[in-house]
């Protein structure tokens, strides 16, 4: 049983603090580290083992998703506004998807949680204290797996994938139009920030410099204790 715990004092209005039988499992990490691949693999593996699974990610809620995409296209949101937008989106998913799924007994696999939002914002100069307060309505996950790869491993993966993204290269925050240079600078800052945040929020560090298969086996092994008590035989 997962006891609902919030990071802060901020109780969500209208939700009681009854226990939730599901499990909230978060995968965190910077762009290109392979989060979505691992989420997809875990999803299938968990289902094959008889668990009911749901997935959520950032900026996907039915409330804010469209507005956020539109605003980002124009690169028109200020930092505080952008984070409030993200927070709204996150709150919407928390209330409408995550908590109901946990209440129904699902394993909720979450591709990024509040930590990515906090790390990105801190790198852009938003005050950490304010962000921590802002997201204090978030419930504490059962496990946060932080996929950590160093820059030398990340760059080829990004190149093989969709290429350097405007936001993931910090083009909005850094000067100049050298997207590769900016990517390195920005991701270095982001990795450092994740390390700081990770200590505060009890990240389980997963070495993501390895192959997809190795990472998957590692995750599978570490997720098992989190699921304990969900099935009669486990």
Partner 1 sequence: MATLPDGTPLPGKLFIVEGIDGSGKSTQLDLLHKWLISEGHLVVFTEWNSSPLVRRTTARGKREQLLTPLTFSLIHAADLADRMEREVLPALKAGAIVLADRYIYTAFARDGARGVNTDWVRRLYSFAVRPTVAFYFKVPLEEALRRILVGRPQLKWYEAGMDLGLSPDPYECFRLFQKRILGQYESMIEEFGLTVIDATRPLVQQQQQVRALLTPHLRGLLEGSLSPWREVLTKEGLHGRYLNVDKLPVQREQ
Residues that bind partner 1 (CB under 8 A): 8-14, 62-64, 66-68, 70-71, 76-78, 80-81, 84-85, 87-88, 91-92, 95, 130, 133-134, 136-137
- Residue 117 token pair: 């939002």
The 10 Å CB-count burial string (b at 16+, else e) for 116-149 is bbbbbbbbbebeeeebbebbebbbebbbbbbbbb
Measured CA to CA, the distance from residue 60 to residue 135 in angstroms comes to 17
Whose Cβ is closer to partner 1: residue 130's or residue 166's? 130
Smallest distance from partner 1 to CB 76, Å: 6
Is the Cβ of residue 21 or residue 78 nearer to partner 1 in the bound state? 78
Write down the least CB distance from residue 20 to partner 1, Å. Answer: 17
**Least spacing, CB of residue 194 vs partner 1, in Å:** 24
> Least distance to partner 1 from the beta carbon of 151, Å?
32
* CB contact at 8 A, 110 and 26: yes
Calpha distance 31→60 (Å, rounded)? 17
Contact criterion met (CB below 8 Å) for 218 and 206: yes
Report the nearest approach of partner 1 to the CB of residue 153 (Å): 36
In the bound state with partner 1, the residue whose beta carbon lies nearer, of 95 and 165, is: 95
Distance CA(139)–CA(95), nearest Å, equals: 10
């Amino acid at each position: 049983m997962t006891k609902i715990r919030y990071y802060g004092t901020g109780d969500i209005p209208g939700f009681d603090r009854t226990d939730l039988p599901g499990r909230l499992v978060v995968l965190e990490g910077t762009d290109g580290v392979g989060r979505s691949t691992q989420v997809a693999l875990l999803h299938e593996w968990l289902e094959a083992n008889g668990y009911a699974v749901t997935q959520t990610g950032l900026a996907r809620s039915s409330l804010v998703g469209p507005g956020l995409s539109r605003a980002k296209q124009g690169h028109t949101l200020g930092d505080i506004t952008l984070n409030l937008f993200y927070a709204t989106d996150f709150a919407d998913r928390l209330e409408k998807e995550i908590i109901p799924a946990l209440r129904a007994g699902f394993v909720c696999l979450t591709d990024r949680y509040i930590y990515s939002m906090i790390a990105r914002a801190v790198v852009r100069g938003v005050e950490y204290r304010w962000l921590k307060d802002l997201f204090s309505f978030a419930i504490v996950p059962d496990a946060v797996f932080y996929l950590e790869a160093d820059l030398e491993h990340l760059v080829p993966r990004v190149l093989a994938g969709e290429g350097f993204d405007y936001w993931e290269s910090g083009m909005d925050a850094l000067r100049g139009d050298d997207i590769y240079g900016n990517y390195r600078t920005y991701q270095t800052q982001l990795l450092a920030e994740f390390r700081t945040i990770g200590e505060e929020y009890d990240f389980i560090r997963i070495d993501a410099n390895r192959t997809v298969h190795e990472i998957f086996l590692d995750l599978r092994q570490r997720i098992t204790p989190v699921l304990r008590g969900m099935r009669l035989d486990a």
